[in-house]
Structure 1
Amino acid sequence: MNEDRTPQTPPIIKAVTDCESRPRWSVMIPAYNCIGYLQTALESVLIQDPGPEIMQIEVVDDHSTDGDVRALVARVGKGRVGYYRQPYNRGSLRNFETCLNRSKGHLVHLLHGDDAVLPGFYRVTGALFDAHPQVGAAFTSHIVIDECGNQVYSRQSLMDKPGVLSDWLSTIARRQRLQPPAIVVKRLVYEHLGGFFAFHFNEDWEMWVRIAAHYPVAYSPSGLPGTGTIQITLPPVRFYPDRTFWISIRRSISFSIIFRRKKGSHIKDQRENINQFISLTNLISYIMSTGPPMRPCCRPRPLLK
């Protein structure tokens, strides 16, 4: 496996050492060939912008080839949004690593360039950290939309009201329960545990399990005013898993079992661990369902208008 693109150990996230005042938030937006969606992502953040003293906003471009990302950031951000372009295409894991190391805030939100947040997301997740300072991360419910803005599905709420999740390690180790843009992580946690590694797919799942093995995690359900539910845009492509995909699935399941055993979480039955595999294969079955490949039914439009 190419170490330059896929680190085999968690990349080091260096501590912020400068003495200047740090913002509370870092909204880091990794982007690669998603220029048709990036404006929506930026606008969904800027509408909640508390100012540069409180929030860093930056696009980290993994050498995109589908348009002038720098020009789009300049036009939409009007000087408010930072921009960094990789010297060559480094791959998603290395681009995430760059995002984390370039972040300056105490709370880091990795918002993929083809995703968006609803109004209230930063207020609600910030309130979770204020109410529960012991947590290492906080997340909200999310929904998935297609390229036309139509809802595909939503995740069932994990709790009725905001708070710290009970036995979260056992829950997240059995099955992926969140999407990357829905979660905010303390930078100190990334400094402690390192960045994303080893997987071409579901690298996020491994990270959430790793965090849960070391820190409590807070959550805010959907259905509450201003929960800032994540909206995720599915690209109009069909996915066919290959050998690398299945290797990643096997490795992620193995890692989750190891973390649970280290924390003393009892595994009652082997069928319990098969739930991890089933949840992923159900998604694959949906993506690979019969019929012609999905095609764009309309141009991407802002989610907040």
Structure 2
Amino acid sequence: MPELLFSIVIPTYNRASTLGDTLRSLQGQTYPHFEVLVVDDGSTDASAQVVAPFLTDARFRYLPKQNEERAIARNWGIAQAKGRFITFLDSDDGYYPRCLQEAVNFLQQRPKAVFFHLGYEIKDTAGRLLYRSLHKGEQLNEQLLSGNFLSCIGVFCRREILEQDRFNESPALIGSEDYELWLRLAAKYPLYYHPAIGAYMLQHAQRSVLRIDKSRFGARMEALLELVSTEPAIQQAFQQKGVQRFRLHTYLYWSLHLAMGGYKREALRKLIWALKKEPGLVASRKFLGIAKTLIRS
């Protein structure tokens, strides 16, 4: 597929310390037909200087804008993209050399796929492996109701479907805008999984998902629950049972992050609510993880 062009959209904000490594991981791709759109969401650090040397490669584009958060930045990148497929990468993560080639290999097997996911790893700053995505089955639509295992890394979408369904730009949803979009897309298209490990996520102390403000996080969870529970396409595709499954696992996720933030009482309330609705969750890995976090906090 020599004509297959990938658009890699990288929203960034004050990540000069990691952005260079991210961009170098793209320079090292064995598959050459791609473009990189660095959407600088109002950085005040040296991000522009970090990007500058890469712009000698015509495949790299720098798109500075005012600060408006990730959903708007990603949507702006979508609007500028020229590739048949768009994928997203955060500016503190990276690709292994064969990432895009693995995407091509998958599309040669599934040429009609419009929404698919490659495997990824999570590493710490010392390079130690913390997690490797391993999923059962080739299609993951139903599994997505139990949590956002996709994050944004390794997800590939045909440009046309992202032009129809973009990231929700509601300020209340910041941090979950990717999950809400993946659920909308999963209600309309098969979500395929290719187990090849194409990318890595870097776990570090400044990563935004590791910090929590109780009130803002609660508003975000409420916004996510409202949007997903009332989306007609999701209701039609997954029915009430699927929406309830999503709600239960969202409460478990809410409970875990409250526990991690030291809000033990509030975390316990969310956990009890979920268990009342579905007692069988007590045997799940998520419940055990929350219980351990509560005991340690």
Same fold by TM (over 0.5)?
Answer: yes
> Which sections of structure 2, spanning at least 5 residues, go unmatched?
265-297
Q: Which residue does 2:179 correspond to in 1?
A: 205
Q: Which has the higher helix share?
A: 2
Cα deviations by residue, 1:182-229 (Å, 9 ceiling, x for unpaired): 2111101101223333211211110110110111111122xx5xx314
Say whether 1:195 aligns with 2:172: no
- Counterpart in the other structure of 1:129: 107
Please give the secondary structure, in 2, of the residue aligned with 1:231. Answer: strand
Query: Does residue 25 in structure 1 map to residue 2 in structure 2?
Result: no
The alpha carbon displacement at 1:151 in A equals 3.0
Contact map agreement 2:125 2:202 (CA 8 A) in 1: no
Name the structure 1 match of 2:79.
101
TM-score scaled by length of structure 1: 0.74
Partner of 2:132: 154
What corresponds to 1:220 in structure 2? 194
Contact kept in structure 2, 1:174 and 1:256, CA below 8 Å: no
Report which stretch shifted further, 103-112 or 195-204.
195-204
Aligned to 2:98: 120
Q: 1:72, CA displacement in angstroms?
A: 1.5
| Counterpart amino acid of residue 17 in structure 2 | G
Q: For each residue in 1:157-189, what CA deviation from the matched residue of structure 2 results, as whole angstroms up to 9, or x when unmatched?
A: 1126xx4x0xx3332123222120221111011
Q: Which has the higher contact order (CA 8 A, sep 6+)?
A: 1
Residue in structure 1 matched with residue 217 of structure 2 by the alignment: 245
Which among 169, 192, 200 is matched to residue 230 of structure 1?
200
Does structure 2 conserve the Cα–Cα contact (< 8 Å) formed by 1:142 and 1:179? Answer: no
**Deviation string, structure 1 residues 64-100 (Cα, Å, up to 9, x no partner):** 1121x232222245334211111x2222221111111
Counterpart for residue 149 of structure 2: 177
Counterpart pick for 2:226 among 249, 254, 257:
254
Seen in structure 2, the aligned counterparts of structure 1 residues 26 and 40 have a Cα distance that, compared at 3 Å, is: same
Separation in structure 2 between the aligned mates of residue 287 and residue 177 of structure 1, nearest angstrom: 21
Calculate percent identity across the aligned residue pairs: 19
> How many angstroms apart in 2 are the aligned matches of 1:268 and 1:99?
32
Instruction: State the aligned residue count.
Output: 255
Aligned to 1:84: 63
Pair 278,50 (structure 1): closer, same or farther in 2 beyond 3 Å:
same
Out of 2, 15, 38, the residue aligned to residue 34 of structure 1 is: 15
Provide the secondary structure at the position in 2 that maps to 1:216: coil
**Cα gap change, 1:261 to 1:289, in 2 (>3 Å):** closer
Relative to structure 2, which stretch is displaced further, 192-201 or 270-279? 270-279
Residue 9 of structure 2: SS of its match in structure 1? strand
Does residue 263 (structure 1) correspond to residue 244 (structure 2)? The answer is: no
Pairwise CA distance, 1:253: 2.6
Structure 1 CA distance, aligned partners of 2:244 and 2:84? 39
Shift in Å at residue 105 of structure 1?
A: 0.5
SS at match of 2:87: strand
Match of 1:70 in 2: 48
State the superposition RMSD in angstroms.
Answer: 2.7
Q: What's the TM-score once normalised by structure 2's chain length?
A: 0.76
Q: Residue by residue, what CA displacement relative to the aligned partner does 1:128-164 show, whole Å, maximum 9, x if unpaired?
A: 2332233221112222223343333334x1126xx4x
